[in-house]
Structure formats: structure tokens, C-alpha cells
Structure 1
Amino acid sequence: MAKFDEVSKLWYGSSTPGVLNPRTNLGQVILNLLSRCPDRVIQINADDGSEMTCAEMSRRIVRVALNLKRLGYHRGDQVSLVCANSENVVPVFVGCVAIGLTVNPLAPVFNKDDLAHMMRQTQSSVVFCDEANYGVVEQAVRLAIDGSPEVFVMGASEWSAKSIDELLRPAEDEDGFKPEFLGDSENLTAMVLCSSGTTGSPKGVCLSHAHLMEGELFADDENAGPIFNFSPLFWATGVLAMLTSLLYIRPRVITTKPFSEEMLFSIIERYKVEDLFTPPSYVSAMITHPKFATANFSSVKRWTMGGAAVSEELRLALASRIPNGFAKSLYGSSEIGFITSAVASCSPGSVGTLANNVSAKIVNEEGRRQEPGQIGEICVKYKHKMLGYLLNEEATRNAFDEENFFKTGDIGYFDKDGFLYVIDRIKDIIKYKNYQISPSDLEAIIGKIEGVQQVCVAGVPSSDQSYDLPTAMIVRQPGSSLTEEQVIRVVDSQVSDHKRLRGGAYFVDQLPSSASGKVLRRVVMQTLKNVKQSK
């Protein structure tokens, strides 16, 4: 549980030392751990039911590493990884990191311009992609990268690119391979993780080997049962699921297929998944599915949700179907990792208590540290500071305050027991005349209305651009005939005058969201603005 220092007005999570040595390199640690349990299953492919043992995972990692070295790649080279969760993604990631390459995972659903945005910064020497997105990736490479990087396709290649099979061929001396020590892990970049990009183009977050080894993960149970989420390695939750599997030697279920309620039910029941992560939008869709009431969730120990606000009603609805575990909110960022703990208890409505090796403070607009119960910006510090935003010194400077606390841009508070509550994004606050309105307050009310499956509230400029009008974008539950008038009537009956839904309510088939299911509020805002202007 987080502890509050009344003198410094800082909150501290546990500082228990990890069992792994953060001074070593990530590839060294992973290969050492895999060698201890060669016959244990470390990966399960839900697409075809195939399993991979630790010995086979290790063999593929070593072959990727040695074959890349044979091709002339070396420490400091950048790698673009534009892949769904197929069977060879983890061997490629670890194989690259083991020889000092820096991996930049990108969303496999990115279009040409989104890929080019990051590739211009990384100037990658080697690119990995799927068969399905090779054409888009090739266009982005030509558009953004100087020179001609090698492109490898996960699967058979029918184009000018090479197949990943070439890197999985037996390599000379593979049985005696031991990754060399690459130097100071605290300052050696392992990966460039994209920031969420929910308020603009993503930035490249440079994370060290030590950062990835000592951060809190989804669970700390060794040799436990399967872990699953839909997140590719582009998302921090995908990376953290991979590390939970590798560092605690437990099977991770993977699939290249996108989320569907049926797919999620099937994976949980078939593989007896113990730890899950989903965005709340997936859970919202799932609890209205006919099978939700009868699905077997008895294997689930922890079901965490994050990436967007999780209502207490949604959490309780999910928790009611988990007989042997719990459902809770998580809070984190690309720059820190988990800010709150996935394994500690959670007070209703909160996102939990601080993760291991994380400290925090709440500061008001004047920069003064706040007491428990007082609201302000959430600022956090992790034991291993990120190494900066790639090629963006100004953004790196602006991300931290004078005490090296990362400014999350989120508003919230700690209660007296050390639980953190996130209220809203600073940039999302709706400014109506002299009032400030939290979108989540209105979303909580609308979300309880019968017939609402999902909602996002944003501020749309008034006709004279002098203030914002609270406006709702709503996805109805299947079969619902809910109207705008009904929504406005419910909201207006429960809020103060300045919080009324003056911008109205609009219904859509689905909210714009990222590949991981996070609602893109800036897109919602722009869409609502366009609709208003067209009237």
C-alpha cells in the first residue's frame, strides 16, 4: 500500500528489491530463465493450437540473434516491428535486444503515414512485418527511411522481402551461444515504445534494459497459468504481458485475430487463462453478449482493465462473473509502465495503489503539493527514468518537472488509505464560460442510462468560439431505441446548470478507438465539431 510522507507530501509505493539483476542485459536474463525450464510451455498460439516450449523459444531467439549478426547488424541499429501477435514475434524481439538492437514496435493496423511518422525518426536498418500489411509497410519504408533496409515477413514471402524463416535457420555455434554483456543497462536503450497518441502524433519513448526488467508486471506468480490480452507489442500492455510470461516462466496465449466477444470467451475457457487485461470497451461489449451469463471464468485470478476510465458499475458487472478472482482498474503510461499495481487490492472507484519502485505527488495549478483528498495533477517518478523521447529534447524537458517527476497530464487525488483516483485528462477538461467540467462526470451519468453501451463526452466550441459545449457521442446497446431527448432529460435532471448537455447527444455504431480499444477522444471531438458545423 502507498505510504504518505507528511513532511515532503510525497506518496511512495513499495521499494522491495527485485530478484533479477537490473545491471545485466535483458537478453541475458531471458535466455538464462528459459534454460532452467526447457520443457515448460511458454507460448500458446490460439490461432492453430500450437505450443512452444522454453527450449524452442530459446532456440529461435538464439538463431535470430546470430543470423542478424551474420548479416552485419550490430548494437545501436534500429528495428521496426510492425506485427500482430504471431508465433515468432517474441523470438524476434528478444533476439534483436540480445545483440543490442533497439526495437520500435508499431501497430500492424497503422496506415502508410502513421508508419512513416515513426520510421522517419528511427531510420530503421531492418523491418519486420506481416504478410497482410507488407504492401503498406513497403510504401512507408520507401517514403520515410533513407537507404534500403532489409524487410522480413512473418511467414512465407512472395515479394522482394525475405521470410522470417531465413533468420530461423540453424546458425553456427548456436548451442554454445551466450549473449555478451552490452554495458550499462540503465542507459542502454532496449526499445522505443510509442506514446499513446490519443492527443496527437505518437512520440518515441526510449526505455532501457533496466527499466523493462524492474518494472512491475501483470503478476508476480512464478510458473503460474496462462496470461492473455489482445495487445500487440505496439502497446505497453502487450510488452508487459510478454515480460510477465518470460520473466516468470508462464505461458502466454497469443492470437493474430482482433477482439471479438466470442474469441475472448473461447480463449479463456479453452486455455484456462488466469491473468487478463482488456480495455473497458471490450468488457462493455462483452457483458451485453448472450454468452456472458454462462461463460466459464473460473480459471481467472485477475482481470485488469485500463487505457480509459472504468466505471464502478462496469467493474462490478465483470467481477460478479469471476468466482475465484477479482476485476480491477490499472493505471500506467508508456513513459513509466504500471503506475499502480496489478496485484495489490483496489478500493472501489480507484485505479489502485502505487506500483513497486514508484513515487508520486499531487500538485495544484501553482505547483504546490497536495494533501490526501485534494485534487491536482498526478506526477510520478519511477526508479529508472525513461531515456527521453526519441529526437525530441524539448518534449523530453517538458515531460518532467524540476524534481524529475513525470507530469502525467491527468487530474486526480489519493485518499487517506493510499488509493489513487484519476478524474480526467487536463487537456480533456471542458471549459464552459467560467466553469470547468469533467467529461468523466457526464460519462458516468450517461453510462448508467438503459440502452447505452458506450459513451464519450467532449467539448465542442460554441458558435463564437468563446467556450465549449458538453456534447455526447453514444453507442446504443443492440435493440435500443434510446433518443437524444431522453439522454438530455436524464443528464439535465442530475447536474448543475453549467454541466447540462448543451451540445446535445449523437449516436454512432462505434466510437473511434485505437488498435487496443482505447477511445480516441480527440477524434470524437473533431467528429462532433464537424457534425455541428455541417448543420
Structure 2
Amino acid sequence: MRSIIMFTSKYDSAKKIWSGGHLAPFHDESVSLGRALYYTLARDPQRLAQISGDTGLRVTNGEICDQMLKIASNLSLKGAKRDQVIAIVAKNGPLIAPATFAAFLLAIPVNTLDPNYVMAEIAHMFTQTQPSIVFCDHDNYSTVKSALIENKSSAKIINFGPRISGVENIDDYLVKTGFEDSLEIPDVDGQTCGLILCSSGTTGLSKGVSLTHQHFLYLSANPYFFDFRQDSVMLCFSSLYWLSGILHLLFTTFNGMTRIITTQPFSPEHFLKMVDQYKVTHMLSAPVYLAAVLDSTLLTPTSLANLREYMVGGSVVPEEKWSRMQEYLPNGYVRIVYGMSELGFATRQDYKTKKYCVGKLAPDVQMKIVNINNENLGPGEKGEICFKSRFRFLGYTRNAKATAEMIDKDGWVHTGDIGFVDNDGDLHIADRMKEILKYSNHHISPSEIENIICRFPEVEYVAVVGIPDPVCTDLPAALVVLREDANITADDIYQLVASNLSNPKHLRGGVYFVDLLPLTPSGKVIKNKVKEKAIELYRARCQ
């Protein structure tokens, strides 16, 4: 068994900057993701790489390697080139891995989109990334085709699933060309783009986040960041649109693990079934999915006995949810990971440290906390969290303005998150800077109010936003999803907040019960849509 390294946060009191440790790179800078994946797959061809939770189909490293070489060889023969972009708009089907790996092998940047995107959203991203080839599912082909027509693009579509008349199918790329063994695998450098992720779009239109091959090799091929073993089985519901989906694919391949994939959306029932059926040891999800599992009537004290790590990230984890989930992990622990598409993960919580922090810095990462004047702050002082990494992202594709707003002249990435570092070097997240409310000059953290409301066990989900007010700026309001057996009232919630928080944080904008909250496919609350709904309900109440 490999030992995971302890993350550290060394503080320079003169500069007011925290630094993680240092790890030597595992690959030469010229090695691409594709070459590293090829070596990994070919070295252990009999290892079980992937199981489809939909069909039970099992695939080995050797089979994925063979499929990858065939797809790459066919793409190359049909004119695919390094200066192009390949887009993938598909769910986690059995051929998503070799298709993605084939693009990496040819050093062609891959742009992964949400398979649930509507036409306008796909067209918006394609305007930025301008793909020449698009892999998509059978059931979203017409949407992808319409987006290409909207953009006047002649990109080739390759369809996963049943054949569509007049459209190339993935099966056409799984035939031998005779050139698989002589396929040229290009070298890369530290500035070669490997992936273009979409920013999550929780606060606006998505942008294309350009990231290097070296960035992902460092994040995923490092065997010391997490408790990964060769008997590990990992489950993640995220498509490749999400950083978590990409890391699921790469973590499992590079570390000799088995991944469980599914095209089905998350549900507690489906999750618990697959955890039991496949003896899942590692789970990666957003906090909202963790909360849904906790509220399932199917969850028992032994349901999660096989889990060694429940990794959760993407938004603030309520303290009450963290503690409750830990009780269901007799042989494991909840590990909070903090990061963003532009960085990967920047911190990791060690389970023996404090419960309600996101931990210390990853190796080769620096951090500072700044105030509104961009002045560095010290321990215990709250401000915007900024990072600098050895593997910095390349910027937003065809969006210099947004890139300049994210990365300052000294190379610091401004996250837009508010937090502080305690005297032990552990980072604590308070809120998103753009989500901070202001009531009569008092700054209010929505997550602070959400944590109070989550003390009610009857509350399944909650989101706090501000109702615009001409005098007070924001009136805090809560949209709440209750469990089926709940019998609490809006006034109960109002009074709980009022009795635990100062006057400016009271829910003057109201408490509203809703059937569901608008979520991204990976489980992040879309706060701008929550705000629209809250304003609508507030106005209806005031009439």
C-alpha cells in the first residue's frame, strides 16, 4: 500500500504568502497525456479498467488501449491535425474513454461539453473553441447538429450509439487501419493545450478553460495525493464536462483502479445500488449529492461500509452534513477537496485535522488572501483567496478580457471565493465573493445562513440569495427543499436563523418552500436562477 503525503501550508510572514511542499514531476515535460496513458494501459493489459453500471459490460486496459489506437489511427488517416479541436458532447458510455484518449494520443485539444446542453449553450461554446470534429450521443445529435448550423460550422460529427443515416459512427473508427503499431505520438511542451473545460456557468455564460497536458498529468498520475490502491473501485456520476468527471477517468487509469461509469443521472437509490453491487471504495461528488444520500430511506449503517474515501467538492459542505456522513463510514472518511477548473485541486483536507476546513495546500501551490485593495492579509483575516500554481492554466479560449480578470500581472489566479487561513495553515471557505449579500452596509455570507437552516433534519436542500432592495441593497431570502416527512414551517426556519444570527442576517426576504432547486448536472446550485425564483416568489407575496 502506498502512503499518501501530508499536505502542508508554510507561511511567509514577511510576504504574507502560504506555500505547499514540492514534488518532482513524474514525467518529462515532453510526454503527453496520450503517451502516458498508452504506457499505462499497455503495461498491464489484463487489469479490469471499467465497468458499465448500465449494462455490466467489463473492459480491460488492453481492450481500451486497442480501441484507442484504432480510433487515433482512423482519425489521423481522415485528416485530424494537432491545430484542430475535438469536442465531446456525450454521457459516460463505454467508448468515451478510448475516444478521449485517442485525441490525447494525437495531441489534439479536447473540449468537453455538458451532454444536457441546449442548442444555444453548445453554439456559445463552439463559438469559442471552434471544433473540427464533434463526438456526441445518439439522443443529442440533432441538438449538436443545430448548434453547428447556427455557427455555420462544417465540423464532422461522430455518433456514439445506434447509427444515424448519413452520419459517421464510432464503429467506423474501430476498424483496423494497419498503421496502429506505427502511429506517431507527438511530443508536447509545458504550454501545449490538452483539454478545454467549460467553466461551470453557475454565475453566467460558460468560458473555455484551456489546460495543459502537464497540468493533468501532475493532478492525476501522482500516486500520493489520495488513498488510491490497485484494488480500489471508484464511482462518479459527472460527465467529462466536469473536472470531477475528467479526474475520475484519469485517476482510475493512472492508478490501476477500476472505474464505474453510468449514463444515468444521480439518485440516492442508484448510488447505493452501485456501491453495494460493485463494492465501491471511492466516491467523488458535489455536496448536494452527499445530502441526498443522507436523506435516503434506503441508507443503513452498513450501506457504505466499503467506502474508504468520500471525496466532496465544488461548493461549501455544510458542517452538519459532513458530520452525519462520517457516521456512515466505519472504514473510511469524508475528504473535502477544494479547487476549480482553472487550478485543479488546490487543497486537501486530511481526515485527522479539523472537520470544517478544506485543509492545507497541495504541493507546488502558493496562496494568498487579499482585501478589496489587493493587499495581502495574514492568518485569521478574511478576504479573497488567490492561488499560484506551477502548472498555471493557459487562459480562457478566445477571451482575453476574462483571462485578464482571472489572472493578475503577477500570475495569481483570483478565485472569487472568500475565506481565511487559520494559525495551523488550514484554509476555511466562507463564500463566493459574487454571492456575498449586503444589508445596510453589513456583509452577509449566504453559506453561514444555510448552515444554520441545515440544522433542521427535515431540510434536504437550501439556498440563500438576496432580494434587491432600493434602501437596504439585499434582503436575505431562503429557498428550501424539505424531506417528504417534514412538518416544519417557514416561521420555524425564520426563528431559528433569528435566534442564532445577528439582526442584519435575518430572512427579511422570506422563506419559500420549493420542490427542487436548479442544479447543474454535477449538483452545483445555480444561484442566479435561484435568485430569479426568489424574486418572483417575493413579489407574489408582496402583492
Q: Could you say which residue in structure 2 is the equivalent of 1:63?
A: 70
Report the secondary structure of 1:214's partner residue: helix
Residue 37 (structure 1) shift: 0.4
CA contact (8 A) 1:344 1:353 kept: no
Match of 1:378 among 369, 385, 405: 385
Task: Give the counterpart letter for 1:443 in structure 2.
Answer: E
Residue 159 (structure 1) shift: 3.4
Q: Could you say which residue in structure 2 is the equivalent of 1:461?
A: 468
Report the secondary structure of 1:104's partner residue: strand
Q: Structure 2 vs 1, CA of residues 318 and 63 (structure 1 numbering), >3 Å: closer, same or farther?
A: same
Note if 1:182 corresponds to 2:182: no
- Higher mean C-alpha deviation, range 446-455 or range 373-382: 446-455
Task: Give the counterpart letter for 1:327 in structure 2.
Answer: V
Match of 1:153 among 147, 159, 167: 159
Per-residue CA deviations over 1:255-295 (Å, capped at 9, x if unaligned) read: 00000111101111111111111111111111121221244
Q: Structure 2 vs 1, CA of residues 357 and 220 (structure 1 numbering), >3 Å: closer, same or farther?
A: farther
Q: How does 1:135-534 map to 2 (within 5 A)?
A: 135-144=142-151, 146-174=152-180, 176-184=181-189, 186-215=190-219, 219=226, 221-341=228-348, 346-462=353-469, 464=470, 467-534=473-540
Q: Distance in 1 between matches of 2:451 and 2:349?
A: 24
Report the secondary structure of 1:349's partner residue: coil
Cα RMSD of the aligned pairs, angstroms, is 1.6
Task: Give the counterpart letter for 2:200 in structure 1.
Answer: S
Q: Distance in 2 between matches of 1:499 and 1:167?
A: 58
CA contact (8 A) 2:349 2:357 kept: no
Report the secondary structure of 2:395's partner residue: coil
Report the secondary structure of 1:307's partner residue: coil
Report the secondary structure of 2:450's partner residue: helix
Q: How does 1:19-30 map to 2 (within 5 A)?
A: 19-30=26-37
Residue 342 (structure 1) shift: 6.5
Task: Give the counterpart letter for 1:261 in structure 2.
Answer: P
CA contact (8 A) 1:341 1:356 kept: no
Task: Give the counterpart letter for 1:68 in structure 2.
Answer: L
Q: Distance in 2 between matches of 1:497 and 1:28?
A: 59
Q: How does 1:103-114 map to 2 (within 5 A)?
A: 103-114=110-121
Residue 18 (structure 1) shift: 3.4
Per-residue CA deviations over 1:151-201 (Å, capped at 9, x if unaligned) read: 111112133322111111112132x245423332x1111111011111100
Report the secondary structure of 1:80's partner residue: strand
Q: Distance in 1 between matches of 2:63 and 2:187?
A: 24
Report the secondary structure of 2:139's partner residue: coil
Q: Distance in 1 between matches of 2:30 and 2:342?
A: 20
CA contact (8 A) 2:73 2:177 kept: yes
Per-residue CA deviations over 1:391-414 (Å, capped at 9, x if unaligned) read: 011111111123211000000011
Per-residue CA deviations over 1:342-396 (Å, capped at 9, x if unaligned) read: 6675421101211222111111122221111111110001111111100011111
Residue 137 (structure 1) shift: 1.4
CA contact (8 A) 2:192 2:212 kept: yes
Q: Could you say which residue in structure 1 is the equivalent of 2:4?
A: none
Q: Distance in 2 between matches of 1:103 and 1:344?
A: 35
Report the secondary structure of 1:385's partner residue: coil
Q: Could you say which residue in structure 2 is the equivalent of 1:2?
A: 9
Q: Structure 2 vs 1, CA of residues 299 and 129 (structure 1 numbering), >3 Å: closer, same or farther?
A: same
Q: Distance in 2 between matches of 1:14 and 1:224?
A: 28
Q: Distance in 2 between matches of 1:468 and 1:170?
A: 63
Q: How does 1:83-102 map to 2 (within 5 A)?
A: 83-102=90-109
Q: Structure 2 vs 1, CA of residues 521 and 282 (structure 1 numbering), >3 Å: closer, same or farther?
A: same
CA contact (8 A) 1:34 1:54 kept: yes
TM-score by length of 2: 0.95
Q: Distance in 2 between matches of 1:5 and 1:172?
A: 58
Task: Give the counterpart letter for 2:143 in structure 1.
Answer: V
Residue 221 (structure 1) shift: 3.0
Q: Distance in 2 between matches of 1:21 and 1:221?
A: 23
Q: Distance in 1 between matches of 2:231 and 2:176?
A: 31
- Higher mean C-alpha deviation, range 510-519 or range 293-302: 293-302
Q: Structure 2 vs 1, CA of residues 347 and 179 (structure 1 numbering), >3 Å: closer, same or farther?
A: farther
CA contact (8 A) 1:62 1:177 kept: no
CA contact (8 A) 1:90 1:242 kept: yes
Report the secondary structure of 2:500's partner residue: coil
Q: Distance in 2 between matches of 1:272 and 1:343?
A: 23
Q: Distance in 2 between matches of 1:434 and 1:510?
A: 32
Q: Distance in 2 between matches of 1:90 and 1:432?
A: 49
Q: Distance in 1 between matches of 2:146 and 2:441?
A: 48
- Higher mean C-alpha deviation, range 294-303 or range 62-71: 294-303
Q: Distance in 2 between matches of 1:320 and 1:171?
A: 54
Percent same amino acid at aligned positions?
A: 34
Q: Distance in 1 between matches of 2:331 and 2:229?
A: 19
CA contact (8 A) 1:315 1:328 kept: no
Q: Distance in 2 between matches of 1:163 and 1:430?
A: 50
Per-residue CA deviations over 1:230-252 (Å, capped at 9, x if unaligned) read: 01100001111111012212111
Task: Give the counterpart letter for 1:367 in structure 2.
Answer: N
TM-score by length of 1: 0.96
Residue 497 (structure 1) shift: 1.3
What are structure 2's unaligned runs of at least 5 residues? 1-7
Q: Distance in 2 between matches of 1:220 and 1:25?
A: 25
Report the secondary structure of 1:516's partner residue: coil
Aligned residue pairs: how many? Answer: 531
Q: Distance in 1 between matches of 2:197 and 2:217?
A: 15
Q: Could you say which residue in structure 1 is the equivalent of 2:5?
A: none
Q: Could you say which residue in structure 1 is the equivalent of 2:3?
A: none
Residue 7 (structure 1) shift: 2.3
Q: Distance in 2 between matches of 1:117 and 1:485?
A: 43
Per-residue CA deviations over 1:426-465 (Å, capped at 9, x if unaligned) read: 1101111111111111111111124211100001112x36
Task: Give the counterpart letter for 2:523 in structure 1.
Answer: G
Task: Give the counterpart letter for 2:261 in structure 1.
Answer: I
